[in-house]
């Protein structure tokens, strides 16, 4: 009887080449088909979910329905950035669930608007700067209440995004924001500029979920009565 033949296979070099090619194909597939994000509420602690549940929250996606806002040389617009962040924030809030109203810049529903909290979301210019700003109406009939809303948003937005607060550059356009004159006086109200389209572009365009989460946690802080 003839002895059994030794098994033959692909040379090691070919195995490595094929394996490398398959790995590159896998990476390309994952880049084009990223896994779905985790449930939005997964990162919210129970006390924040309780604070938000059933609350009436109004969000303005800055410049929507009006104009593009700040526009960079490559065509990136403030309006598109604002809209994506507000959409992410609304998704998280609705999954709690909270009652969310997403408004355009000059939405007629702003007149006499009554809600547990109102926030207008904007971004800053295309300058190569970094930082975010939060403000309330300079003539707020409830300054202590609205100051607490500003503090909650500022702290949690900084905590989640890592961007630095930039209160020195809060402008009159923020403290006299048109919607502050239109919403009901008893509605807590603030405006946030989530970062610069220039220096903070990667965060604002590639990770809009982080600014959205910072906003949501700031609202939960305020609605939950956190000092």
Q: Are 153 and 190 in contact (CB under 8 A)?
A: yes
The residue among 191, 158, 163 whose CA lies nearest residue 177 is 191
Q: What are phi and psi of 28, to 5 degrees?
A: -65, -40
Check residue 36 and give its pLDDT: 41
Domains in the chain, CATH or no CATH each: 45-223 (3.40.630.40)
Rounded Cα distance, 178 and 39, in Å? 35
Q: How is 32-44 classified by DSSP, letter by letter?
A: HSPPPPPPGGGGS
Check residue 6 and give its pLDDT: 46
Check residue 205 and give its pLDDT: 97
* Dihedral Cα 140, 142, 143, 145, nearest 10 deg: -130
Check residue 17 and give its pLDDT: 66
For the chain, 227 residues long, the average pLDDT of each consecutive 10-residue run is 52 66 63 46 81 97 97 97 98 96 98 98 97 98 97 97 94 97 97 98 96 97 88
Tell me, yes or no, if the pTM score tops 0.75: yes
Check residue 16 and give its pLDDT: 65
Rounded Cα distance, 68 and 197, in Å? 13
* Dihedral Cα 58, 111, 103, 69, nearest 10 deg: -120
Rounded Cα distance, 224 and 72, in Å? 38
The residue among 98, 67, 125, 69 whose CA lies nearest residue 215 is 98
């Amino acid at each position: 009887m003839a002895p059994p033949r030794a098994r033959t296979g692909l040379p090691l070099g070919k195995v490595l080449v094929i394996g490398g090619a398959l790995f590159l194909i896998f990476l390309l597939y994952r880049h084009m088909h990223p896994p779905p994000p985790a449930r939005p509420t997964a990162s919210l602690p129970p006390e924040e979910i309780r604070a938000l549940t059933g609350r009436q929250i109004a969000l303005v996606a800055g410049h929507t329905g009006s104009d593009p806002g700040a526009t960079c040389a490559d065509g990136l617009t403030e309006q598109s950035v604002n809209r994506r962040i507000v959409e992410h924030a609304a998704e998280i809030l609705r999954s709690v669930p909270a009652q969310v109203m997403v408004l355009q810049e000059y939405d007629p529903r702003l007149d006499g608007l009554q809600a547990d909290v109102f926030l207008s979301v904007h971004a800053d210019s295309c300058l190569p700067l970094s930082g975010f700003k939060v403000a309330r109406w300079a003539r707020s009939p409830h300054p202590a209440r609205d100051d607490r809303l500003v503090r909650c948003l500022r702290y949690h937005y900084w905590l989640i995004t890592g961007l630095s607060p930039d209160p020195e550059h809060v402008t009159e356009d923020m403290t006299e924001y048109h919607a502050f004159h239109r919403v009901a006086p008893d509605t807590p109200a603030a405006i946030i500029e989530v970062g610069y389209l220039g220096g903070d572009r990667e965060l604002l365009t590639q990770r809009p979920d982080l600014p959205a989460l910072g906003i949501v946690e700031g609202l939960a802080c305020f609605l939950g009565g956190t000092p």
